[in-house]
């Protein structure tokens, strides 16, 4: 791996970190009660979202979101409410229990991220600043 251009070395480092994070999440008992997609849906619901918006954000079909929401609704984590903009449409909202689970998952994820990467506080802020450049470029 020596003598690689910095961009290639960074690519390999990101790939290795991604794999290490995935393994850490798979082993951590605090987050194994939920599938990866369930966790992503819970994180996306920081505010009410319509099912179609959620399907788009999760890059999946609306029918997949419906099945996922049914599971999370049965667990008491989300509920369907009429959308204020279109009463025929439903939006998803986290229940109090869902908000508690979201907070616990977020704290655990942050801890795992720091443990795996060795990054803390301002270093993570710097990383987010660098990544936000990419997001802005992609949006343009």
Higher pLDDT, 35 or 98: 98
pLDDT at 1: 65
Chain centroid, CA 135 distance in Å: 16
Q: What percent of the chain has pLDDT over 70?
A: 97
pLDDT at 52: 86
**CB of 127 within 8 A of CB of 119?**
yes
Q: In terms of DSSP bridges, do strands 49-50 and 90-94 run parallel, antiparallel, or are they unpaired?
A: antiparallel
Examine the pLDDT at 35 and tell me if it is beyond 70. yes
Number of domains in the chain: 1
On whether residue 1 sits in a domain, the answer given is no
Higher pLDDT, 103 or 139: 103
Q: Is the dihedral of CA 59, 60, 62, 66 positive or negative?
A: negative
The boundaries of the domain holding residue 135 are 6-139
d(CA 91, CA 81): 5
- Give kind and range of the element (H or E) at residue 79: strand 78-82
Q: Domain with 109 in it: what CATH number?
A: 1.10.10.10
Examine the pLDDT at 73 and tell me if it is beyond 70. yes
d(CA 57, CA 41): 9
On whether residue 40 sits in a domain, the answer given is yes
Give the residue-averaged pLDDT of 30-59: 89
pLDDT at 60: 87
Nearest to 45 by CA among 114, 106, 109, 111: 106
What's the whole-model pTM score?
Answer: 0.82
The tens digit of pLDDT for each residue in 1-24 reads: 678 998 899 999 999 999 999 999
- Whose structure tokens read 């802020």? 125
The tens digit of pLDDT for each residue in 75-127 reads: 999 999 998 888 788 899 999 999 999 999 999 999 999 999 999 999 999 99
On whether residue 134 sits in a domain, the answer given is yes
DSSP letters, 11-57, are: HHHHHHHHHHHHHHHHH-TTTTTS-HHHHHHHHHTTS-EEHHHHHHH
Examine the pLDDT at 135 and tell me if it is beyond 80. no
List, in order, residues 6 or more apart from 64 with CB less than 8 Å away.
37, 55, 58
């Amino acid at each position: 791996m020596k003598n690689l251009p910095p961009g290639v070395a960074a690519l390999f480092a990101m790939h290795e970190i991604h794999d290490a994070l995935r393994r850490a999440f798979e082993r951590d008992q605090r987050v194994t009660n939920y599938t990866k997609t369930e966790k992503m849906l819970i994180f996306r619901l920081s505010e009410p979202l319509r099912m179609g918006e959620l399907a788009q954000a999760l890059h999946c079909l609306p029918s997949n979101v419906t099945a996922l929401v049914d599971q999370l609704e049965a667990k008491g984590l989300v509920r369907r409410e009429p959308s204020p903009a279109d009463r025929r449409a439903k939006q998803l909202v986290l229940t109090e229990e869902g908000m508690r689970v979201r907070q616990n998952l977020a704290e655990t994820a942050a801890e795992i991220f720091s443990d795996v990467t060795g990054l803390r506080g301002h270093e993570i802020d710097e990383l987010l600043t660098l990544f936000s450049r990419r997001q802005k470029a992609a949006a343009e």
